């Protein structure tokens, strides 16, 4: 496949990928999204997924999901210290968010369901592809 020129429009589709019993299964969404709209689309999808899933668990010791993600070991140490001081067992929890977005914003992972939503770049067929087919 020929490389896309800089002035060629770029489009995306979103795939939902999960592991079946023996292989990864991919479902592709039918929408074709222009490059300038993909982040807006992924923002909307993220909000819908986050709203549809139960919110992050609340730590009884007040650790926020952001603090937990920065240092999960400090969270566990806090629970151990609390248990030693009180002589009780505080439930060890995982207050991290169930819906997580990648740094570039083009991938969303839903932890409980093990789904990954990925924005996949597409190259649209052009007139030159029809007149100059790539030989394998």
Greatest pairwise CA separation for the chain in angstroms = 78
Cα separation, 94 vs 69, in Å, equals: 10
Phi/psi at 85 (nearest 5 deg)?
-65, -45
Range of the domain at 84: 58-97
- Is the residue at 45 inside a domain? yes
DSSP letter at 90 equals: P
Question: What integer pLDDT is reported at residue 113 of this predicted model?
Answer: 63
**Domain presence at residue 68:** yes
Residue 25 and residue 87 in one domain = no
Asked whether residue 93 falls in the same domain as residue 27, the answer is: no
| CA distance linking residue 11 with residue 123, whole number of Å | 7
Domain assignment of residue 40, yes or no = yes
Q: What is the pLDDT of residue 1?
A: 44
- Give the position of tokens 């020129």: 5
Indicate whether 35 belongs to any domain: yes
Q: For residues 94 and 101, give the distance between their C-alpha atoms in angstroms, rounded to a whole number.
A: 18
How far, in Å, CA of 86 to CA of 58, rounded?
20
- Please tell me the predicted confidence (pLDDT) of residue 103: 87
**Is this prediction's pTM over 0.85?**
no
Residues of the chain with confidence (pLDDT) below 70: 1-9, 53-57, 90-92, 95-97, 112-113, 128-130, 132-136
Q: Give the pLDDT confidence score for residue 15 in this predicted structure.
A: 92
Q: Any residues with CB less than 8 A from the CB of 126 and at least 6 apart, and which?
A: 8
Domain tally, the chain: 2
Triad 34, 24, 50: Cα angle to 5°: 55
């Amino acid at each position: 496949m020929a490389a896309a020129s800089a002035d060629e429009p770029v489009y995306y589709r979103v795939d939902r990928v999960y592991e079946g019993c023996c292989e990864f299964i991919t479902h592709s969404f039918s929408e074709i999204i222009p490059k300038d709209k993909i982040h807006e689309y992924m923002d909307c999808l993220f909000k819908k997924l986050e709203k549809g899933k139960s919110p992050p668990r609340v730590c009884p010791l007040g650790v926020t999901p952001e603090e937990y993600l920065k240092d999960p070991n400090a969270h566990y140490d806090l629970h151990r210290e609390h248990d030693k001081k009180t002589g009780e067992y505080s439930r060890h929890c995982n207050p991290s968010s169930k819906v997580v977005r990648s740094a570039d914003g083009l991938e969303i992972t839903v932890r409980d369901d093990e789904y990954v939503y990925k924005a996949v770049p597409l190259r649209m067929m052009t007139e030159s592809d029809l007149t100059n087919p790539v030989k394998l």
